[in-house]
Structure 1
Amino acid sequence: MTTQKPASMRHYGMDWLRVGAFALLILYHIAMVFIPWNYHVKSTHIVHWAVLPMLAINAWRLSLLFVVSGYASRALLRRTGNPGEFARNRSLRLLIPLAFGIIVVVPVQPWVELVTKYGFTHSFAWFWLHDFFSFRTIDGLFLPNWNHLWFVGYLWVYTMVLIAGAALIRSNRVQQFFDRLFGGIGVLLIPMAWLLMVHTWWFPMVGETHMLFDDGIAHAAYFPAFLFGFALGGSETVMRAIGRWWTVAAVLAMLGYATILAIELHWTDNFLQGGTRITVYAGAHAVQQGSAVIALIGIADRFWNHNYPIRATLTEAVFPFYIIHQTIIVFGMYLLLPAGLPGWAQFAILLVATVAGCWLFYRVGRAIVPLRPLVGLRLHKPQRKESSLAVV
């Protein structure tokens, strides 16, 4: 039986899911250094089998981030009280750290990529002053870029579109329609049906670009996920439906992953040469993506809806951790390359350095008031930890 709270009260389970989703993202990006997939910097020790566990989360990790961000946005709207103030709050909380990130945090990532992959010989200072803001392409990299901070840019755009839509539709009927549509088995079937259309019909085996104006597959998957999370933040009816169907969703997610795993292990590229076979792979991806998110929300609602003293701090730290983590990973691996360490040692050092560096970035940014907006925190500390709301 699920534990329900009134819509005006905080759902601790969703807080823990948000923290877990971003922690998993950090671990995922560390692992990217060691697998064959393209990344900004690569270890000399590539572990091919590690692709298989990565595929267990690859399909749904970003959809989950947008769902939990939409859910958090609903809570922020309740606190601010009106769409205009909400838009102002979100713009300040997202665009300031986004600008800071692009100017200060991100540039070392393309520099490391150019040095390690293309033999770029200039120093970082030269690169930052002469190349990063040149608005041109160097060895296939368009500069400047936002790299991992694309998520923040997309989140701001989705929020502004949502606010504009809400201003046009001033009615509770949309929420009521959502409750009816997703208040039963639709909460499981509709997201999967939509994603099946995205991956098998509209964008079969198309990769994301994270370039905003040329990223149809990402918008088709993530904007609805954000809207779903936002609407879920005001719906006890749909949360109860998730409580009824999350176990079925978990089974479907595992079946989707098992299908992908079987293809990767036994058929790989040969399997993906035929159109029907591509549809099977993309369909399994869609089923895993849609059902895993519902299963994880159900688990958070059923088992994690409890408060602990560390929750408020971790919830607040999520955004600063996100802003800095990839720069630490990329630059950390760059520093480790000349040492010739074994792969397990590189991974262990990267993991410890990333967690420690993220924590230091958060604590320093939190303590120095002028830095707080730059690292994604409110300018003034909340009077009570309970009132602290994550921006993502």
Structure 2
Amino acid sequence: MTTERRHDIDWLRVIAIGLLLIYHIAITFQPWAMFIGFIRSDEFLEGLWKPMTMLNVWRIPLLFYVSGMGLYFAMRKRNWKQLLVERTKRILLPFAFGVVAITTLHMFIFQIYYDIPLGYFPHAGHLWFLGNIFAYVLLLLPLFFYLKKNENGRFKKGLSAFTGNPGGPLLISLFFVLEAVMVKPQLFAMYAETWHGFFLGLLAFFFGFLFVYSGKTFWQTVLRWRWLYIGLAAILYSVRYFVFATEAPGYLTAIESNCWVFGVFGLGCKYLNRPSKILSYLSQAAYPVYIIHMFVLYAGSMLILPLEIPVFLKFMAITAFTGIVCYLVYEFVLRRVVFLRPLFGLKWTFNRLKRQATNIVSESKT
């Protein structure tokens, strides 16, 4: 398997999670926020939702694609047992801990803000994504390792030729169209804890793996034809926005979603595929920040929404509060407290600390 590091994939994961934070903050200022369990501002910024209607059809599919790509790279130096243990530590453990101890926090804040009797009930909340990813790993691992053992076979050669054509990536949208037609989601962007979200995520995860598995041809294609994909996506978004009031039939939105994703991959390949110290830091921080951001957002909403300041300043203040507090919690708590690290998807440091302690003892004896 190739050992080339794709820094653009790391960047896109970081960017997608950053967009997720902005998206969730924007929900706070929409009239329907309470219907999906968000603290709601009494003053609205419905204009914020216009750009969000473009983002919300591809930001989550992008994360699923990137997760499938990440699994490919994780398989390079691991057998199936090692990979399963690693994914259990990195995904299932934070998911299980989050369900009982993290998602409940923002619901407590919601109950306090609206003077509702406090009640504890574990739930997946925004961490549903992790549960899906772990399920996909279990479902697809046998197939992926079979493909790994047959990297010089006809399938990979055919896949490489397929992804080398600009129409190749577009044709896989037919699977997403079929999913939308068969599942018939009420809203295309209603991914959380729905069968639509599960099957769409499964497809994106699967094809994300295949795209990296196919070799360099996929990246050459999205790099060369990125503006074609973005242009098609913009046209389809315009149709969705002006003709269907942002909620087009699922089969059209599925095609638009993939066009955005392939265009974003092309832009990432062009501008982001290079290492940096900032990327190194952010790529480690993104996962734990994703886990904690909801209760930080709710805490910021509880503190800032009652203030008598213009509503746009409230949006800016909540955005700043969420970003700064997430950084402080990550940097000074999650990153440094050894027993918390694995609970938030960070690498275990026990062995490194043990070696450091051994070295200190050895030096003291000499």
Task: Check whether TM > 0.5.
Answer: yes
1:196 correspondence with 2:177? yes
1:157 corresponds in structure 2 to 135
1:308 corresponds in structure 2 to 276
1:293 correspondence with 2:274? no
2:346 corresponds in structure 1 to 377
Deviation of the 1:344 alpha carbon: 1.6
Is the deviation greater in 365-374 or in 228-237?
A: 228-237
Deviation of the 1:86 alpha carbon: 0.7
**Letter of the 1:219 counterpart:** F
Structure 2 residue corresponding to 1:55, chosen from 53, 56, 73: 53
1:220 corresponds in structure 2 to 199
In the alignment, the residues of structure 1 paired with residue 257 and residue 280 of structure 2 have an alpha-carbon distance, to the nearest angstrom, of 29
In the alignment, the residues of structure 1 paired with residue 226 and residue 306 of structure 2 have an alpha-carbon distance, to the nearest angstrom, of 47
Structure 2 residue corresponding to 1:233, chosen from 206, 212, 221: 212
Aligned length: 343
1:261 corresponds in structure 2 to 241
In the alignment, the residues of structure 2 paired with residue 377 and residue 55 of structure 1 have an alpha-carbon distance, to the nearest angstrom, of 32
Aligned with 2:306: secondary structure?
Answer: helix
1:250 correspondence with 2:230? yes
In the alignment, the residues of structure 2 paired with residue 52 and residue 182 of structure 1 have an alpha-carbon distance, to the nearest angstrom, of 33
Aligned with 2:342: secondary structure?
Answer: coil
Maintained 8 Å contact 1:93/1:377: yes
1:353 corresponds in structure 2 to 321
1:34 corresponds in structure 2 to 29
Query: 5+ unaligned residues in a row in structure 1: which ranges?
Result: 1-5, 133-143, 269-277, 384-392
Maintained 8 Å contact 1:90/1:156: yes
In the alignment, the residues of structure 1 paired with residue 179 and residue 31 of structure 2 have an alpha-carbon distance, to the nearest angstrom, of 26
What CA deviation, in whole Å up to 9, does each residue of 1:292-339 have, x standing for no partner?
000000111112112222111111111011001111112221233333
Structure 1 residue corresponding to 2:9, chosen from 11, 14, 27: 14
**Letter of the 1:11 counterpart:** R
- TM-score calculated relative to the size of structure 2: 0.85
1:265-344 matched pairs, under 5 angstroms:
281-344=249-312
Deviation of the 1:45 alpha carbon: 1.3
In structure 2, relative to structure 1, the CA distance for the partners of 1:195 and 1:346 (3 Å cut) is same
**Letter of the 2:236 counterpart:** G
Maintained 8 Å contact 1:184/1:241: yes
Deviation of the 1:180 alpha carbon: 3.6
Deviation of the 1:218 alpha carbon: 1.4
In the alignment, the residues of structure 1 paired with residue 191 and residue 270 of structure 2 have an alpha-carbon distance, to the nearest angstrom, of 36
Deviation of the 1:253 alpha carbon: 0.8
The root-mean-square deviation of aligned C-alpha atoms, in Å, is: 2.5
Maintained 8 Å contact 2:184/2:250: no
What CA deviation, in whole Å up to 9, does each residue of 1:14-38 have, x standing for no partner?
2211111111111111111112344
In the alignment, the residues of structure 2 paired with residue 7 and residue 202 of structure 1 have an alpha-carbon distance, to the nearest angstrom, of 36
1:65-144 matched pairs, under 5 angstroms:
65-79=63-77, 81-114=78-111, 119-122=115-118, 127=119, 131-132=120-121, 144=122
Is the deviation greater in 20-29 or in 181-190?
A: 181-190
1:210 correspondence with 2:206? no
In structure 2, relative to structure 1, the CA distance for the partners of 1:240 and 1:168 (3 Å cut) is closer
Q: Which has the higher contact order (CA 8 A, sep 6+)?
A: 1
Query: 5+ unaligned residues in a row in structure 2: which ranges?
Result: 353-366
In the alignment, the residues of structure 2 paired with residue 164 and residue 113 of structure 1 have an alpha-carbon distance, to the nearest angstrom, of 42
- TM-score calculated relative to the size of structure 1: 0.80
Structure 2 residue corresponding to 1:182, chosen from 157, 163, 174: 163
Maintained 8 Å contact 2:185/2:196: no
In the alignment, the residues of structure 1 paired with residue 166 and residue 288 of structure 2 have an alpha-carbon distance, to the nearest angstrom, of 37
Deviation of the 1:238 alpha carbon: 1.8
* Percent of aligned pairs with the same amino acid: 27
Maintained 8 Å contact 2:89/2:345: no
1:23 correspondence with 2:54? no
What CA deviation, in whole Å up to 9, does each residue of 1:232-287 have, x standing for no partner?
2332122222223222101011111111221366xx7xxxxxxxxx8x54344222
In the alignment, the residues of structure 2 paired with residue 380 and residue 232 of structure 1 have an alpha-carbon distance, to the nearest angstrom, of 33
What CA deviation, in whole Å up to 9, does each residue of 1:18-71 have, x standing for no partner?
111111111111111112344421111112222211111111010001111111
Maintained 8 Å contact 2:7/2:274: yes
Deviation of the 1:175 alpha carbon: 3.7
In the alignment, the residues of structure 2 paired with residue 375 and residue 202 of structure 1 have an alpha-carbon distance, to the nearest angstrom, of 33
Deviation of the 1:158 alpha carbon: 0.8
Is the deviation greater in 357-366 or in 150-159?
A: 357-366
Maintained 8 Å contact 1:257/1:284: no
In the alignment, the residues of structure 2 paired with residue 308 and residue 337 of structure 1 have an alpha-carbon distance, to the nearest angstrom, of 37
In structure 2, relative to structure 1, the CA distance for the partners of 1:285 and 1:121 (3 Å cut) is same
